Structure 1
Amino acid sequence: MTTLVTRSSAIAPPRPGSGPSRPEATPSFNDADEFSRAALDSVVSKRGDTLSISVVSEVEAIAISTRLELLLMTVGMGAGSVSARVAPSFMEHTYPAMHSLTSALDKSGMSGMWTAVGGRSIRLMESWQMFISVDAPSGKSMPGMPARPDTLLEVVTADRIPTEWFRTRVVPRASARGLTTVFYSSFSRPADGNESLFDRVRRSNLTKEWRDGVRRHFDTTEQTAIAAVS
Structure 2
Amino acid sequence: MAYGHKTQYQARPRATVVLLAARGRGNARIAAETRLHVDTVRTWRGRFADGGLPALADRKRSGRPARFTPVQIAEAKALACQLPVETGVPLSHWSCPELAAELTARGVTDSISASTVRRWLRQDAIKPWQYRSWVFIRDPDFRAKAQRVLDLYARTYEAEPLGADEYVFSSDEKTSIQARCRCHPTLVGGGDTRNSRHFTAERDAQIR
Report if TM-score (shorter chain) is over 0.5. no
Q: Give the structure with the larger helix fraction.
A: 2
TM-score, structure 2 as length reference = 0.18
Rg: which structure is higher?
2
TM-score, structure 1 as length reference = 0.17
